[in-house]
Structure 1
Amino acid sequence: MEPINQFLKNSKKLQENNERLYESLIKHPRIIELIENSEHEITRSMIKNDLLQLKRYAEQSLACEKCGSLSGCVNHPQGYVPSIDVRDGRIHVIYSPCPTKIKEDRFREKEKMIESYHVPKDVKDATFDTVFLDGDSNRQEIIKKAISASKKIIDGEKTKGLYIHGSFGIGKSYMLGCIANELKEQSVSSIIAYVPEIIRDLKSGFKDGTTDIKFKTLKTAQVLMLDDLGAEDVTPWVRDEVITSLLHYRMVEGLPTFISSNYSMEELEYRYSRTKENGVEETKARRMTERLRSLCEEVQLEGRNYRNG
C-alpha cells in the first residue's frame, strides 16, 4: 500500500500539473476561439473536468494543416479531425473524416469502379488526355465516338458500345482503358477482361466450382470491355457457351459492351465458324456475330504499331 505521505505528494504533483495544463489551455488560441464562439457557456470547472479532451483537441490538426498527406497525419485516429460538442455540462471531442481522408476515400472508391482481369497497368490507367494523336491515325475520330458513347452511358441513355478492330499494337486496348476511366470519373463501374486469360479462368473454375460465379460477374457488369476477342483458342464451348451466351445476355438486358479485336466482325465470324472439334459451323458463328452487331458499332482503328515502334 502506498504511504500516506507519498500519496499526498503525488496528488499535489498531479494537481500542480493539471493547473499548469489549465493555464496553458486557456491561453491557447484554439481554446480561446472555442470559448468565445461556443453556443454553450464553457466554465472553469468544465475545462478542469475535461482537460485531456481539450488538450487533445488543441494539439491535433483541424484542416490537414499539419499533415500534408494521410500517411503523414499527426492526428489520432489518423485521417480524422476533432471538433467539440458541449452537452450536459461536459466537453466531448467528436471525430470526423478530414478533407484529405475524404479525398483519398473518394479516389479509392473510384478506383474500385474499374475491375480488371489480366489487363496491363498502362491500359487500366489510360485516359483520353494521354492518347497520342498523329496524322497517320484516325484515333481522334474513334475518341469522339468513344466519348459520345461514354456520355450517353453516364446520362443513362441507351447506346451501342464500340467494336474496335485493327492491326497489332495500334492502341485498341488502350482505347478501352480510356473509356473505362472516363466512366470511372462519373462513378460508372466497368470490367475490362483480356479474353484469352478470362477463358482460362473460366476453364480452371471447373475444378473449384467458381466458373458460374466468374461468368455471372462478366455478364452482369454495368459496362463490360472484352479485350482482344478472337485471340483465344476457338472451341465450340468458347463460342457457344461463353462468348455467344455472354453477348446474348448483355443484348437482352441492354448492357453497354465494348470490344477490341485484331479481326473485323466478318473475319471474326469466319474464325468462329471453324473448330477442330466440329469442323465448319457457319450458323453458330453467325449467331454470335449477330449479337455482336446488335451490341456494338464496328469501327476500325488505323495507325502504326506503337508497341514495337
Structure 2
Amino acid sequence: MESMSDLLKTNKRIEQNNERIYQQLIQHPKITALINDKEKPLTASMIRNDMITLKHYADQPTECEVDSDGNCISHPDGYVINIDIREGRANMYYTPCPVKERQDAFRRKENLIQSYHVPKDIKNATFDTIFIDGDSNRNPLIRKAIQVTKDIASGDNYRGLYVHGEFGIGKSYILGCIANELKEKSVSSMIVYVPEILRDLKAGFRDGTTDEKYRTFKEAEVLILDDLGAEDVTPWARDEIITSLLHHRMVQNKPTFISSNYSISDLEYRYSITKENGREETKARRMTERIRALCEEFELKGKNYRTK
C-alpha cells in the first residue's frame, strides 16, 4: 500500500505537471486565439477542466504535409480537431483536413460520371486534350457542345445533341468530352454503349434486374447514348426500350445526347424494318420524333482515326 507521504508526492507531481501544461497552453497561439474570442472566450477554469482536450487540439499540426501518394501525413485519419465553447466547456469536434476535403471533392466529381460498357479513354476524354483536325468540322461541334453543357448546368436548356457520321471519326470521344465537361460543372451524367445495354436488359429477364437497370438509365440526370443503331433492330428494343426511354426523357425535360452512324432520317428507315414484324414506319417515326425533340442534329465529318 502506498504511504501517505508517497501519495502526497504523487499528487504534488500531478499538480506540477498540470500547471506546466496549463502554462504551455495559455501561451500557445491556438489557445490564445480562443481566449481572445469576443463572443465565446475560453476561460482559465475551462482550460483547467478540459486540459487534455485542449492539449490534443494545440498539439495537432497546423498545416497538412502530403506524401508522394497525395495522402496527408499530418492527419493520417484525414480529420482535424476543432474546439467549440459550449455550456462552459471546451468541446472537441472533428472536420476533414484540407487534403481529405480535396480528395473527397475529387471522388464526388469522379462519381458524377457513370459509364456502362464504355472504354476508359472515352470516359476520360476532355475538350482540353481533343485533337483538332483541319479536315474535320470538330471545332463548331465542340463550341456547340460546350455551350449546351453551360446551358444545362445553368438550367436554361434541356436539349442535347445527336451526333452522327462515319465510323471512327470521334463521335464517342466527343460524348466523353461532354460527360467530363458536365462533370466540371457538377452535373452528373450516364454514358452507355447502346448495343451492350440492350443485351444487359435482355439478360436481366433471367435474374429480375431488367426493371431496375432500365429505371437507372431512364432517370439519369443527363443520359448519353453511344452508337444508337448499331444494335440488332427488334420490336422490343425499338418500342419497349428505346422509344419508351426517349419518351420519358422528353416528357421530363431530361437532357439526352446520342451518337450514331446514321442520320436521324436514315435511323428511322433502319428501325422501320424488323425480322419479326416487317415494315412498321409509324413506330420508327414515333421513336425518331422523340430524338428530334430531345436533340439538335449535327453531322460530324473527318478522317477515320481508327485506321491510323
TM-score by length of 1: 0.86
8 A contact 2:235–2:276 mirrored in 1: yes
Q: Distance in 2 between matches of 1:138 and 1:232?
A: 27
Q: Distance in 2 between matches of 1:179 and 1:60?
A: 43
Match of 1:66 in 2: 64
SS at match of 2:305: coil
Q: 1:168 to 1:7 in 2, by over 3 A?
A: farther
The 5-angstrom pairing of residues 79-90 of structure 1 reads 79-90=78-89
Q: Distance in 2 between matches of 1:83 and 1:244?
A: 55
Q: 1:303 to 1:10 in 2, by over 3 A?
A: farther
How many angstroms does 1:7 deviate by? 5.6
User: Which is further off, 105-114 or 138-147?
Assistant: 105-114
User: Which is further off, 205-214 or 147-156?
Assistant: 147-156
Q: Which runs of 5+ in 2 are unaligned?
A: none
Q: Distance in 1 between matches of 2:36 and 2:145?
A: 56
Q: Distance in 2 between matches of 1:43 and 1:254?
A: 58
8 A contact 2:75–2:97 mirrored in 1: no
Match of 1:117 in 2: 116
Q: 1:44 to 1:151 in 2, by over 3 A?
A: closer
Match of 1:156 in 2: 155
Match of 1:29 in 2: 29
8 A contact 2:71–2:99 mirrored in 1: no
SS at match of 2:136: coil
Q: Distance in 2 between matches of 1:100 and 1:119?
A: 31
Q: 1:276 to 1:53 in 2, by over 3 A?
A: same
Structure 2 counterpart of 1:222, which letter? E
User: Which is further off, 226-235 or 179-188?
Assistant: 179-188
Structure 1 counterpart of 2:85, which letter? V
RMSD, aligned CA: 2.6
Aligned residues: 305
Q: Distance in 2 between matches of 1:19 and 1:45?
A: 12
Q: 1:249 to 1:66 in 2, by over 3 A?
A: closer
How many angstroms does 1:270 deviate by? 2.8
TM-score by length of 2: 0.87
Match of 1:147 in 2: 146
SS at match of 1:170: coil
Structure 1 position 48 matched with structure 2 position 57: no
Match of 2:276 in 1: 277
Q: Percent identity?
A: 62
Match of 1:233 in 2: 232
Q: Which runs of 5+ in 1 are unaligned?
A: none
